[in-house]
Structure 1
Amino acid sequence: MSTSTDNMRVDEAHGPVRRAVIDYATMPSLLIFCDAVFMLTLSILVDLASTSRAATGTLSAFDFTRPLGIGILSAVTFVLITTLRGHYKPWHMARATEHVRAAFVNWTFTIFFVATVIFCLKVGDDTSRLSTGIFAALGFITVPSSHWAMGLWLRRAVESGAVRGRPSILIGDASQLDHVFPMEILERLGLREMRRFGFAGVPASMASGSLSSDELETLKSAIQFARQQRIEEIIVAMPWSSLERLDAVRARLRALPVPVKLLPDEVVHELLDAPRVDFGSSVAIEVQRAPLSCIELAQKRVLDIAVSGIALTLLLPLFAIIAVCIKLDSKGPVIFRQRRNGFGGREFTIYKFRSMSVMEDGANLTQVQRNDKRVTRVGRFLRTTSLDELPQVLNVLLGHMSIVGPRPHAIAHDDEYSKLIAGYAFRHHVKPGITGWAQANGLRGETSEISLMERRIEMDLWYINNWSIWLDIKIILRTFIEVFRNDAY
């Protein structure tokens, strides 16, 4: 039998069916049309505003051929690049940050191609360098902005029901369906969930790979419903551990001329998060990525020098104020030095503003706890605001650390956790950082339980395997928000 979720029509559960005015399948064409019109209009307006004839009011003599040619070439190039990269798919446009970044990159390729065409065809003399340059520069702002606006409109249109998604049903084990996307996520993917058909409980027939009579009846009901409601897509959510059982479900769903998509279970989902690479005639999953390439290392180093150099220049007065406060508050040096393990496990000395009355750097270290008596009055403020970490910009400039990377731990703690947590040593495949993916997600302060450290290490390893320069920038921005939102101690 089906579970209780089977008998619920989503449209009925959420009240009257909302009237759709646009079909989801037409969205890519509509977005392409908007891009083409926008770029043609932008090219003409820029050329119109930058010519002396427009300034003198002799618009009748204005030649539309030149800006029209530039606009058409730019629009065709941009649309082709965006289409080939799959960025006109509505679900991609609904991801605002990712889509704006993609639009910026696609426009960059477009401008390089347009400039190459102008150079190769030797039409530079017939093209206004001023208007073309302004058109290109404005595009870096207006094109990503227009895509952000289109993505925002698309999300709101889907949520309001103005865009009609493809009617779909979900089939699978009740336990798996509980973890499937909620309706609003399915809507963003262009799907309108009509009903769920769940196999009750854990089937006793799983070991044999055959389907029980109840499961066969559920499939029969699903197929009948799909035919009556003209379902256009079926989503299956079942464990991948029994391939025979999956094949039995697939065999029966072949009676319907609609696409069937199988969602990964928890085990497979974790593997699919890893990058996929061509491996001969097959595809391999990269469960551990290679060290950063020379180009990637150069990108990261440029970002490190730029951010740390600017920070050191702007924060020098703050450094002086903090140093004076530390000296007036307690005896001891202003800067705390401690040995840490860096890239490849190589040892270096980390710099921090002293926030405690002790200068521990031995085999036995005690982590700072809440209301720790070793923390000075000024030190408590510095730790709460993370200002004690600021001198590490010197470590970044010296090349010991990076702005973003796994946080370096004391050598004594490295030795301890490397014995308790699998994969701990992999953190040393990149330079340690002032902040990291774990810190940007709120994992700061004491790790009183091994599970807290395991969670940090899990995030550090994810960062290493998924590194990009955009991820570093994202982490830097999120860290500022996290520092103001959550206190450390």
Structure 2
Amino acid sequence: MSLSTDNMRVERASEAHRSGVTPTLDYASMPPLFVVADVVLILGLSILVDFLFSAQLSSGFEVTQPVGIGILAAVAFVLTTISRGLYKPWRMVRVVEEVRATMVNWTFAILVVATVIFCLKVAGSTSRVSTGAFAVLGFFALPAARWAMAVWLRRAIASGAVKGRATILVGDAGELAKVVPAHMLVRLGLNEVRRFSLSTPDGSAKELLSASDKDALKAALQFARQHRVEEIVLAMPWSDVDRLDAVRARLRSVPLPVKLLPDEIISELLDAPRVDFGSSIAIEVQRAPLSRFELAQKRLLDIAVASCAVLLLLPLFAIIATAIKLDSRGPVIFRQRRNGFGGREFTIYKFRSMTVMEDGTKVVQAQRNDKRVTRVGRFLRASSLDELPQVLNVLFGQMSIVGPRPHAIAHDDEYSKLISGYAFRHHVKPGITGWAQVQGFRGETAELEQMERRIEMDLWYINNWSVWIDIKIIMKTFLEVLRKEAY
């Protein structure tokens, strides 16, 4: 949510309160409400589908089977959604993320239902038609319901109908200015009733807290005692530990929880995933290699896309190979050593587009109007058709459809000395296309700054990988190829 949007929502909420609209829903009641809504929808959908098919087939309607299947699917779906934290209100308002996650969770729920039916050996007495229809309709009904829930929740928050825990904010003016009330409600379930600003320390003061700071803290304590304040939130720099301790000592006189918001520097770190680290919690500032489950997801996508590409493009492969042979001397396929996952070497395949077959300690990048590029090669490079044989590298497991583009070994050696973090590109398999390529960094990188920007994009992809990002990149690749030519 943007700052301007949040401010508009806060203003509308304030107007609703002034006009006499009293919040009727508690923030803490949102997750259970969403759970109940999902269970009712799934169970109702199962019963409705079975009833309609029974009526259509003029067979007797027996409620036991659809109820059993509905309960099993609902339990699997709800438990998966809870485990991923997707019932939290601050996640619920993210419509696109919620819809995607709903489809994944529903797929898992249907697999659970199918597995249980198979293991209990009740497939013969289970209607395959109604169960299949129930599974298919769920892919439409659940995302639609999740979208409706997100829209409703956004409007309820904007109108002031959702009530959070009454909270006062205390902190430095600079940090308080970055705290948006709407974010407090949506992300933390807190309803800001008032804020108290402390002075900004200039380093010359003898005491940690100035007279104005003490007055502000006294006023905050008095306000907390006189009103039904449930929580105190601090917005202060984490680096000033002594001053922070002095503020905390003053606030101990009230029996209320006191929480410290992350400052500007810490907020950037907290964007990274939090992981268990022994008995403590750590911030994952560099992502570990993909887990076995994630690797399996990515491999399945690679095999599916590469297999379809080979089957559909075989006639085009033959046409391109013939054109290359008729245009210039040399092999149809260009081979070159590249570094892959973990820095391991492999041989990459491309349609030959140049008169040279460089693969040594010095490899010169193709440039605009490069005389080494053949007539057919110029078209292949502009349309990126020269990259198509790399689907074989994908099927062999050496590359992925999406990943950082592999560079010639000579370029790897050169850039690894010039660009920090370059070697981290080998944390995943190289790809035929990548995040950098769909962001416009495709083709020649004549300047070091261009390569640095491309590497930055590659590192972002590695640290934020998901199947949905891969699918998005695949779709955007087609548009990028049409929009911009390489050479």
- Normalised to the residue count of structure 1, the TM-score between the two structures is 0.76
What is the aligned partner in structure 2 of residue 266 from structure 1?
A: 265
Partner of 2:414: 416
Contact 2:12/2:158 (<8 A) preserved? no
- Counterpart for residue 204 of structure 1: 203
CA displacement at 1:369 relative to structure 2: 5.5
The verdict on how the C-alpha distance between 1:152 and 1:387 changes in structure 2, with shifts beyond 3 A counting, is farther
Pair 1:37 & 2:40 matched = yes
Task: Say if 1:54 and 1:62, in contact at 8 Å, map to a contact too.
Answer: no
Task: State the Cα distance separating 1:42 from its structure 2 match.
Answer: 0.8
* Residues 175-220 of structure 1: per-residue CA shift (max 9 Å, x gap): 5456x465665554255566665555564279x9933444444545
Distance 1:377 1:187, change over 3 A: farther
Cα distance 1:363–1:108, how it changes in 2: closer, same or farther (>3 A)? closer
Q: Show the counterpart of 1:98.
A: 97
Q: 1:134 aligns to what?
A: 133
Deviations 1:53-96 (A, max 9, x none): 5554x9xx744454345434544554455345432211122233
CA contact (8 A) 1:164 1:192 kept: yes
TM-aligned CA deviation for residue 34 of structure 1:
2.1
Measured in 1, the distance between the counterparts of 2:222 and 2:374 equals 72
- Structure 1, 26-35 or 375-384: larger mean CA deviation: 375-384
In the TM superposition, 1:194-233 aligns within 5 A as 199=198, 201=200, 203-204=202-203, 210-220=208-218
Q: Is the Cα contact below 8 Å between 2:236 and 2:260 reproduced in 1? A: no
1:406-464 CA deviation, whole Å, 9 max, x = no partner?
21112222111111223322322332111234334444344455444344334434544
Look up the SS of the partner of 1:204 in the other structure. coil
Q: What's the counterpart of residue 143 of structure 1?
A: 142
| Structure 2 runs not aligned, ≥5 long | 1-6
3-state SS of paired residue (2:451) = helix
- Match of 1:27, SS state, is helix
Shift of 1:291: 4.3
Counterpart in 2 of 1:5? none
Identical columns (%): 62
What amino acid sits opposite 1:436 in the alignment? G
Residues 209 and 245 in structure 1, CA contact (< 8 A), matched pair in contact too: no
Contact 2:31 2:89 in 1 (8 A): yes
Q: Distance in 2 between the 1:380 and 1:92 partners?
A: 48
Match of 2:25 in 1: 23
Superposition pairs of residues 309-458 of structure 1, within 5 angstroms: 309-320=307-318, 335-354=333-352, 360-368=358-366, 382-383=380-381, 385-458=383-456
- List runs of 5+ in structure 1 lacking aligned partners: 1-7
The structural deviation recorded for 1:48 is: 0.8
Cα distance, 1:394 vs structure 2: 2.4
Deviates more, 1:68-77 or 1:241-250: 68-77
Distance in 2 between residues matched to 1:381 and 1:225, nearest whole Å: 73
Deviation at 1:14, TM superposition (A): 9.3
Tell me the secondary structure at the aligned position of residue 261 of structure 2: strand
Do the aligned partners of residues 225 and 482 (structure 1) sit closer, same or farther apart at CA in structure 2, a change above 3 Å counting? farther
Change (3 A) 1:69 1:204: same
Deviation at 1:337, TM superposition (A): 3.8
Q: Distance in 1 between matches of 2:9 and 2:41?
A: 38
Kept in 2, the 8 Å contact 1:275–1:287? The answer is no
Match of residue 308 from structure 1 = 306
Shift of 1:105: 4.4
CA distance in 1, matches of 2:231, 2:422: 43
Alpha-carbon contact 2:12-2:159 (below 8 Å) kept: no
The one-letter amino acid of 2:436's match is A
> Aligned partners of 1:453, 1:183: CA distance in 2, in Å?
41
> What TM-score do you get using the length of structure 2 for normalisation?
0.76
Q: In 2 relative to 1, CA 20–372 (structure 1 residues): closer, same or farther, beyond 3 Å?
A: farther
Match of 1:3 in 2: none
Shifted more, 298-307 versus 320-329: the winner is 320-329
Letter in 2 for 1:338: Q
Deviations 1:368-410 (A, max 9, x none): 5567676677666655554443232122223332212221112
Q: Name the counterpart of 2:275.
A: 276
Residues 444-453 or 367-376, more deviating: 367-376
Matches within 5 A, 1:235-246: 235-246=233-244
Cα 1:350/1:283, change in 2 over 3 Å: same
CA distance in 1 between counterparts of 2:225 and 2:375 reads 72
Between the aligned partners of 2:325 and 2:212, the Cα distance in structure 1 is 76
Residues 1:125 and 1:384: Cα distance change in structure 2 (over 3 Å)? closer
| Alignment partners' CA distance in 1, 2:8 and 2:467 | 45
Let me know the Cα RMSD of the aligned residues.
Answer: 4.5
CA deviations 1:86-110 (Å, max 9, x no partner) are 3221112223343234334443554
Secondary structure at the aligned position of 2:336 is classed as strand
C-alpha distance 284-312 of structure 1, shift in aligned 2 (>3 A)? same
Residues 449 and 79 from structure 1, CA distance in 2 versus in 1: closer, same or farther, beyond 3 angstroms? same
- AA matched with 2:342: G
Matched letter for residue 308 of structure 1: A
Contact 1:169 1:233 survives alignment (8 Å): yes
Letter aligned with residue 344 of structure 1? G
What amino acid is the match of 2:134? F
Which residue of structure 1 aligns with residue 3 of structure 2? none
| In structure 1, C-alpha distance between the alignment counterparts of 2:455 and 2:362, rounded to whole Å | 21
Are the equivalent residues in 2 in contact too, given 1:336–1:359 (CA < 8 A)?
A: yes
